[in-house]
Structure 1
Amino acid sequence: MYEANATVVGTIVNHPMKRELPNGEQMLIFRMASNSRRLDHNTGEWVDNGTLFLNVSCWRRLVAGVDASLRRGDPIIAHGQLRSHEYRSRDGMERRDLEMRATAVGPDLGRCTARVTRWSEMRNTGDRFSAEHQVPAGDGLGENVAAASTAPPRTTHPEHADA
């Protein structure tokens, strides 16, 4: 078995869908797009250089955090194991999708702002999400839920991330 871990910066392109499996485990799936841009030094303009689409699956406690925090159109950073899924489409064509089994997903704070609420803080103050967002108690470390809000619009010439 191969393990190709990667971090992808992009945007959620559909509403995340939560599913309950026959064994009672929950998962959440969404599709994200990552646009490659480069600075054209001749014109000084940013130029689109292609888009990577991938399906992202979230499991265990990550389901509740993503479900409570992120929606279609939100800028995110996702990290996890990449896999290629090969299948035959209804029209008989061989297809291949890129999938990520995420271990971490969060808002891209370079393109939005977020308010972080730790699971442990919610337990201590009595704040509660609806029943569908509740998560079992853990050790308190890394148990964050972030509600992302869109940042002010970019200028027509966005800065490169390394600028």
Structure 2
Amino acid sequence: MAADFNSVLFVGRLGKDPQMSYTPNGNAVTKFSIAVNRRKVGNKEQPPMWLNVVCWQKLAEIVNEYASKGVQILVQGSFDQQTYKDKDGIQRIKYEIVASNVQLLGKKQQASEEDELGELEDYEI
């Protein structure tokens, strides 16, 4: 029987600037979301897939310092599943990528392309 394997690799664009904070123990944590384009199905364009990403410690500090909205980024890591109760007490599940490696791949998009990311303004990470 083969061993289980949890590894992901995505390239996308940041929807907004990363948000860094510190745990009570003093560990840096940075959260951000990326939009990953999907292939066309026939002639129909698919909306981008939005993924939540979390980075810890030194990687969190580096991403917070150098990454910004619209920048193309490569994220390598693993999927994590968390359960929580929403404001109505209903148990929900959310997924996020716990990054082990992040690379900035390009510059910020031009204004006309960046407008397409505007839909994320109401998206919470």
The alignment's TM-score, normalised by the length of structure 2, stands at 0.71
Residue identity over aligned pairs, in percent, reads 25
Higher relative contact order structure (alpha carbons within 8 Å, sequence separation ≥ 6): 2
| Equivalent position amino acid for 1:4 in 2 | N
The Cα shift of 1:39 comes to: 6.5
Distance 1:72 1:7, change over 3 A: same
Distance in 1 of aligned mates of 2:91 and 2:25: 31
1:45-101 Cα distance to aligned partner (Å, 9 max, x none): 5x4224322221111221222112111222211110111223232134443322011
Q: Is it true that 1:84 corresponds to 2:81 in the alignment? A: yes
Distance 1:51 1:87, change over 3 A: farther
Q: Check conservation: 2:69, 2:108, Cα contact below 8 A.
A: no
The alignment covers a number of residue pairs equal to 110
Distance in 1 of aligned mates of 2:94 and 2:13: 17
Q: Is it true that 1:101 corresponds to 2:104 in the alignment? A: no
Distance in 1 of aligned mates of 2:59 and 2:37: 24
Q: Is it true that 1:72 corresponds to 2:69 in the alignment? A: yes
What root-mean-square deviation, in Å, do the aligned CA atoms of Structure 1 and Structure 2 show? 2.5
Q: 2:46 aligns with which of 45, 49, 58?
A: 49
- Structure 1 stretches of 5 or more lacking a match? 113-147, 155-163
The Cα shift of 1:38 comes to: 2.2
Distance in 2 of aligned mates of 1:37 and 1:99: 22
The alignment's TM-score, normalised by the length of structure 1, stands at 0.57
